[in-house]
Amino acid sequence: RKEVEQDPGPFNVPEGATVAFNCTYSNSASQSFFWYRQDCRKEPKLLMSVYSSGNEDGRFTAQLNRASQYISLLIRDSKLSDSATYLCVVNSPGAGSYQLTFGKGTKLSVIP
Amino acid sequence: DAGVTQSPTHLIKTRGQQVTLRCSPISGHKSVSWYQQVLGQGPQFIFQYYEKEERGRGNFPDRFSARQFPNYSSELNVNALLLGDSALYLCASSFTREESTDTQYFGPGTRLTVL
């Protein structure tokens, strides 16, 4: 089982749609969780951290279920500018330190 | 404030050669991590350095090495390059090594092509 697994995608949605991304992780000792956004041929940029209580930032809502080892990201009212690859990221103990482990990413294309 | 900077932006090498990539962290950040991202995959952890010492290492061969300098900048070295080393190499910095909670900020990356 891969350490971090995401919906394979791609997701093609019209402007204004609501889209949900799912992610599961295998290491129960993982401590922190993030969604990063990566535009084509650019570096990943932090979109939001994910907390057990759930957190919202404008049109974006992230949820964490530690018991199920499941993370989600909901984007409401999709904009063209939301087109990117969304990376689920888990901070887990590794050899000597915590390490960020990335999912493969889910590509989102928002269509006019 | 300047973010994480990396050099060079692009690099073309041939098999068997050696390469050195450079990274300067955000001012005040003491931890630097290196990642390799091959096309179509998420970044994969290579090394973490904190206060000039290696604190973590991913599943990469000994051809990969790194170091961190007193000013917290870092270099990643790859020897005996293989075609499969072609990738985007990302550097990320964070304030501490307490990365169970610390946020990492990524540089723009160095795109390495091995011919």
Mean pLDDT of B33-60: 92
Q: Do B107 and A91 touch (CB under 8 A)?
A: no
Q: Is the pLDDT at B81 greater than 80, yes or no?
A: yes
A34 burial (CB, 10 Å; 0-12 / 13-18 / 19+) is buried
**Whole-number percent of chain A with pLDDT over 70:** 96
Using the Cβ of A71 and the Cβ atoms of chain B, whether some distance falls under 8 Å is answered with no
**B108 interaction partners in chain A (CB closer than 8 Å):** 42-43
Residue B100, pLDDT above cutoff 60: no
Q: Do B99 and A103 touch (CB under 8 A)?
A: no
What's residue A92's pLDDT?
A: 82
**In the beta sheet, which residues pair with residue A35?**
A48, A88
Say whether pLDDT at A96 is over 70: no
Q: Nearest to residue B21, comparing CAs of B73, B84, B97, B82?
A: B73
Residues in chain B closer than 8 A to A44 (CB atoms): 43, 90, 106
CB contact under 8 A, A97 and B97: yes
Mean pLDDT over the full length of chain B: 92
Q: Which of A49-53, B56-60, B110-114 has the highest mean pLDDT?
A: B110-114
For residues A25 and A33, give the distance between their C-alpha atoms in angstroms, rounded to a whole number.
10
How many Cβ contacts (< 8 angstroms) between chains A and B?
Answer: 73
Mutate to test the interface with B, among A36, A42, A43 (most CBs of B within 10 A): A43
- Report residue B55's pLDDT band, with 50, 70 and 90 as the boundaries: confident
Contact B98, A32 (CB under 8 A): no
| Dihedral sign, Cα of residue A65, residue A71, residue A77, residue A81 | positive
Q: Which A residues, 12 through 51, put their C-beta within 8 Å of a C-beta on chain B?
A: 31-32, 34, 41-46, 49
pLDDT at residue B56 in the model: 87
pLDDT at B99: 54
A52 and B CB contact within 8 Å: no
Among the partner-chain residues A87, A91, A103, the one whose CB lies closest to the CB of B99 is: A91
The predicted structure's pLDDT at residue B98: 58
> How much is the average pLDDT of B79-103?
85
Mean pLDDT score, B48-70: 92
On the question of pLDDT at B50 being above 80, the answer is yes
Distance CA B26, CA A37 (A): 20
Tokens at A1, concatenated: 């089982």
Helix (H, G, I), strand (E, B) or coil at B100: coil
Distance in angstroms (rounded) separating the CA atoms of residues B68 and B31 = 9
Tell me what pLDDT residue A95 has: 63
